[in-house]
Amino acid sequence: KEHTKRLLNSAKILQMPVKFDAETLNEAQKKVVLANQLESAYIRPLIFYGSEGMGLRADNLSVHVMIAAWDWGAYLGAEN
């Protein structure tokens, strides 16, 4: 939950209008893990601008949200 709050705060600082609140994003992350039958997973929610234009400014670009998740075993060695 804290990671999602920080993600949304970062988007706010960058003036990226996100259509989803923290609760909706947290529920979506749970659904991604369940749909992919992951028991231990790395979850990476991302908020990014669309590719409608190129340049130094992000004016008039759409804002997208995606959630990637993949199997992630013991990070520091075998689990006991």
Output the pLDDT for position 4.
Answer: 97
- Which numeric CATH code is attached to 2-71? 3.30.470.10
What the block records as the tokens of 73 is 């075993």
Q: How many CA atoms lie within 13 A of 23 on its CB side?
A: 0
pLDDT in tens, 16-55: 999 999 999 999 999 999 999 999 899 999 999 999 988 8
Q: What is the DSSP string of the chain?
A: -HHHHHHHHHHHHTT---SS-HHHHHHHHHHHHHHTT-SSEEEEEEEEE-SS--SS--TT--EEEEEEEEE---TTS---
The domain locations on the chain are 2-71
pLDDT in tens, 66-75: 999 999 877 6
Output the pLDDT for position 43.
Answer: 95
